[in-house]
Amino acid sequence: MVRKYLSVLASMAMAAAAGAQTAEVVVNADQGRDVISRHIYGQFSEHLGRCIYDGLYVGEDSKIPNTKGVRNDVIDALRNIKIPNLRWPGGCFADEYHWMDGIGPKESRAKMVNTHWGGVVEDNSFGTHEFLDMCELLGTEPYICGNVGSGTVEEMSKWVEYMTMDGESPMANLRRSNGREKPWNVKFIAVGNENWGCGGNMFPDVYANHYRRYQTFCRDYGDNHLYKVAGGANVDDYNWTETLMRMIPARMMWGISLHYYVHPGGWDRKGSSTEFDDAEYAVSMKKAMRMDELVTRHSTIIDKYDPDKRVALVVDEWGAWYNSLPGTNPGFLYQQNTLRDALIAGVTLNIFHKHCDRVRMANLAQIVNVLQALILTEGEKMILTPTYHIFDMYKVHHDATMLPTEVRCGTYKAGSTTIDQMSVSSSVDADGVMHISMVNMDLDKDIEVRCSIRGRKATKIAGAQIVTSARINDYNSFDEPEVIDLKAFDGARLKDNVVTLRLPAKSVVTVAVK
Ligand code: AHR
């Protein structure tokens, strides 16, 4: 025993001498209970900047190869990461969107001004049919966000009828006259967005009343069962969550949402997406890890009213929000995506895994060309961001059983900010393969990781992948699209039920263990 302890101390001293740190991880392989819903890998698409137009949709007449107007390159990339659900049409845009403007012949669709996002003209050429057909192409569940702020109960109710009613009805017939015989499956529906702010500046009790009324008229037609989401809190507005939970019974809502963005320089200054120093990087990661505290505290309130955990916490907007790239329309929220964003994605998804008993859905903001996007486009060109590669690496966790995982690691300090060096999560899939995802947030030091698998016999390493790069502010550009890519990692070893690896500085690694 003493000898074993001394040998651990000796290996830690050797690692330190070699410029590396050490970390002890324990995966409790016999304690899996809760499933990591694949829906925490959801995405968000808003009529904002070049997310819909240019990003997803170019129209059927475009010379960019497309299917029903949706870019083929984007379809292929998104199918690869199996996006489980897609939120639309906003965001703030949703509470001024009138769905009837977006159906029927395109030439006669009403135009509107997108007042939230750059004041541009929205010609409504991408509407309900285009969105729901695109979801079918992508193999993803639609997540519709209805208009409470400037809409009516009747408008939302008819939208649900239009999309999901199979038999004879005024809205089903209208849908048929617009070319779609069968209804679509629509699973998720949000009753408004940010109704404490852009969605109407309401008090929580006022919104709770609205929610109860609007959701009443969002009907289930035929086999279609709606999962209704109440518009939840901004960041740490615990009073909002408390009020909604007190006033809305669990039988009226499948979920309650939460929005949280990482702004390294604060809401006013935000910070650059590519030019930041180590201190600003550390602040970004500290803010990303704050998601743990937010989810914990909102969940504690929800637990009080819903101890059986029927109501999901739906983090339907999250990600890093920096200054728009110089020279672009500031209202379009177009930013670059560096290795820092990959680390933010890894850390945040690890937090969602840890809380998967309550967090059963989440949506990265946003899917293409806006904020922490998976994909950037420029004319015919398309690039995958470092964040995309994390979603690719982490897809092994979709619907897998979370394995409680402990980590003991050192800290990283830059400027006046100190953060943990590591974030880890693990799961076991339906075939019994365990996946251990680790983020090394230290910009300078590798970590010698000893990861004990307890409660189950591990027989072999079944592969590993890594996302990293030479500098934390490296990114993929249209000229150099593969600076950061998902690569095989062959540094993991298994002996005596312990996985060992040297986890490179500023990297995300997932190891598969059988
Ligand atoms: O994602 C951009 C905006 O951020 C959304 O429209 C809004 O809901 C949030 O404030």
Question: What is the pLDDT at residue 300?
Answer: 98
**CA dihedral (328, 330, 331, 336) positive or negative:** positive
257 Cα–ligand 1 center, Å: 13
Question: What is the pLDDT at residue 400?
Answer: 98
Q: What dihedral angle (degrees, nearest 10) is formed by the CA atoms of 395, 65, 101, 148?
A: 10
Nearest-atom number in ligand 1 for the CA of 199 is 8
Q: How remote is the C-alpha of 443 from its chain's centroid?
A: 24
- Alpha-carbon distance of 413 to 235, in angstroms, equals 25
pLDDT mean across residues, the chain = 96
Task: With beta carbons less than 8 A apart as the criterion, state whether 82 and 398 touch.
Answer: yes
Q: What is the mean pLDDT of residues 101-128?
A: 96
Going by CA atoms, what residue is nearest to atom 8 of ligand 1? 91
pLDDT-based confidence at residue 6 (cuts at 50, 70, 90): very low
Q: What is the mean pLDDT of residues 8-23?
A: 61
pLDDT-based confidence at residue 8 (cuts at 50, 70, 90): very low
Instruction: Tell me whether residue 141 is one of the annotated catalytic residues.
Output: no
Residue of 136, 194, 380, 480 with catalytic role:
194
Question: What is the pLDDT at residue 18?
Answer: 53
Q: What is the mean pLDDT of residues 4-13?
A: 47
Question: What is the pLDDT at residue 268?
Answer: 85
Which of 43, 44, 46 most suits a substitution to test ligand 1, by most atoms within 8 Å of the C-beta?
46
Residue 92 in contact with ligand 1 by CB distance below 6 A: yes
Going by CA atoms, what residue is nearest to atom 9 of ligand 1? 91
Which of 198, 237, 370, 371 most suits a substitution to test ligand 1, by most atoms within 8 Å of the C-beta?
198
* Tens-place pLDDT, residues 277-304: 999 999 999 999 999 999 999 999 999 9
Question: What is the pLDDT at residue 15?
Answer: 54
Question: What is the pLDDT at residue 3?
Answer: 47
- Alpha-carbon distance of 60 to 463, in angstroms, equals 41
Instruction: Tell me whether residue 194 is one of the annotated catalytic residues.
Output: yes
pLDDT-based confidence at residue 326 (cuts at 50, 70, 90): very high
How many Å is the Cα radius of gyration of the chain? 23
91 has a pLDDT exceeding 50: yes
143 Cα–ligand 1 center, Å: 15
Going by CA atoms, what residue is nearest to atom 4 of ligand 1? 91
In Å, what is the CA distance from 69 to each residue of 62, 80, 134, 379?
A: 8, 19, 9, 14
- Alpha-carbon distance of 150 to 198, in angstroms, equals 10
Among 490, 511, 507, 500, which residue's Cα sits nearest to residue 445?
507
Q: Can you list the pairs that 50-53 forms with residues at least 24 positions away whose Cβ atoms lie under 8 Å?
A: 50/332, 50/334, 50/368, 50/369, 50/370, 50/377, 51/366, 51/367, 51/368, 51/369, 51/370, 52/126, 53/125, 53/126
Model confidence, pTM: 0.96
pLDDT-based confidence at residue 269 (cuts at 50, 70, 90): confident
Q: What is the mean pLDDT of residues 301-315?
A: 98
Residue 508 in contact with ligand 1 by CB distance below 6 A: no
7 has a pLDDT exceeding 70: no
260 Cα–ligand 1 center, Å: 10
* Tens-place pLDDT, residues 364-392: 999 999 999 999 999 999 999 999 999 99
Q: What is the mean pLDDT of residues 73-80?
A: 98
Residue 232 in contact with ligand 1 by CB distance below 6 A: no
Question: What is the pLDDT at residue 70?
Answer: 98
Question: What is the pLDDT at residue 14?
Answer: 54
Question: What is the pLDDT at residue 2?
Answer: 44
Give percent of the chain above pLDDT 70.
96
Question: What is the pLDDT at residue 5?
Answer: 44
CB-facing half-sphere around the CA of 127: CA atoms within 13 A: 26
* Tens-place pLDDT, residues 400-446: 999 999 999 999 999 999 999 999 999 999 999 999 999 999 999 99
Residue of 317, 406, 448, 480 with catalytic role:
317
190 Cα–ligand 1 center, Å: 14
